[in-house]
């Protein structure tokens, strides 16, 4: 039985809720066709986040890792394509760190690509009526930090890893003009993303590019 580790961030930036954490609470122990989901909670703090996830990887020995965070303003579940070696925090993280233009790993490459089947995930969610688009930027805050740092941590293993950003919950967006998605839809979308990961060792070839 293969394990898929799905991680969710705690709230940050003064908020009291993070949909990523709410979703992983509901996904813990969920059965997949050929696997099971295990989860872990992640602090929104530079380097502590990597420590929490790498410890969960050591403890669970998963075949795949899907790290998940909230992205205010997104109207779809968005598997990320690329992580960059750059910390440039617009706000302080939960530990008060606010690096500007600092590399995540001095010795690391400029970027890593996701090793999840992002096109297959996107198609599976869309076929199930869940808005999903490939994203080409995970930002430069703690989500990109985790995406890059865990790709670097896993670089010499055959454990697949990638990052997925999710929209705000309706209750977070109610008094704003931001798009949102229900928790049930987010949970089902992440479950389907894990299932598509198990079903597609190699990604499908399908256009999902953007023109600027």
Residue window 26-55: x/- pattern of binding to ligand PCA, with contact defined by CB under 6 A: ------------------x-----------
Please select the residue that binds ligand PCA; options are 9, 64, 112, 148, rule is CB under 6 A.
9
Please pick, among 22, 40, 132, 143, the residue that the annotation labels catalytic.
143
Q: Are strands 160-166 and 64-70 parallel, antiparallel or unpaired?
A: parallel
CB atoms under 10 Å from CB of 127, counted, come to 11
Nearer to ligand PCA, 18 or 180 (CB): 18
Give least dist CB 103 to ligand PCA, A.
17
CA separation for the pair 31, 144 (Å, rounded): 28
Piece in contact with ligand PCA (CB under 6 A), picked from 54-62, 65-73, 176-184, 185-193 = 65-73
| Residue 69 touches ligand PCA, criterion: CB under 6 A | yes
- Active-site residue, 165 included: yes
Is the Cβ–Cβ distance between 38 and 8 less than 8 Å? no
Please select the residue that binds ligand PCA; options are 30, 82, 120, 142, rule is CB under 6 A.
142
Task: Burial-class residue 60 by CB neighbours within 10 Å (0-12, 13-18, 19+).
Answer: middle
- Active-site residue, 80 included: yes
CB atoms under 10 Å from CB of 131, counted, come to 16
Give least dist CB 156 to ligand PCA, A.
26
Is the Cβ–Cβ distance between 119 and 134 less than 8 Å? yes
| Residue 70 touches ligand PCA, criterion: CB under 6 A | yes
| Residue 150 touches ligand PCA, criterion: CB under 6 A | no
Q: What's the half-sphere exposure (Cβ side, CA atoms, 13 Å) at 111?
A: 12
Give least dist CB 133 to ligand PCA, A.
16
- The interaxial angle of helices 48-60 and 142-153, nearest 10 deg, is 40
CA dihedral 57, 61, 64, 70 (to 10 degrees): -30
Please pick, among 80, 145, 152, 188, the residue that the annotation labels catalytic.
80
Catalytic center residues: 80, 143, 165
Instruction: Give the footprint of ligand PCA on this chain (CB under 6 A).
Output: 9, 12, 18, 20, 44, 69-71, 139, 141-143
């Amino acid at each position: 039985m293969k394990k898929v580790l799905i991680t969710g961030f705690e709230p940050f930036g003064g908020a009291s809720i993070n949909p990523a954490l709410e979703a992983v609470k509901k996904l813990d122990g969920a059965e997949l066709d050929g696997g099971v989901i295990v989860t872990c909670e992640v602090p929104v703090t530079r380097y502590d986040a990597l420590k929490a996830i790498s410890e969960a990887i050591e403890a669970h020995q998963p075949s795949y890792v899907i790290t998940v965070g909230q992205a205010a303003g997104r109207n779809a579940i968005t598997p990320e394509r690329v992580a960059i070696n750059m910390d440039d925090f617009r706000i302080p993280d939960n530990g008060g760190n606010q690096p500007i233009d600092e590399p995540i790993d001095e010795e690391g490459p400029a970027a890593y690509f996701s090793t999840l089947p992002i096109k297959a995930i996107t198609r599976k969610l869309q076929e199930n009526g869940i808005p999903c688009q490939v994203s080409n930027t995970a930002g430069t805050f703690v989500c990109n930090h985790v995406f890059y740092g865990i790709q670097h941590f896993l670089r010499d293993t055959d454990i697949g890893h990638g990052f997925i950003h999710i929209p705000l919950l309706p209750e977070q967006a109610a008094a704003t003009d931001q798009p949102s998605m229900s928790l049930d839809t987010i949970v089902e979308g992440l479950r389907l993303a894990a299932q598509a990961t198990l079903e597609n060792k190699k990604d499908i070839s399908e256009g999902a590019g953007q023109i600027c």
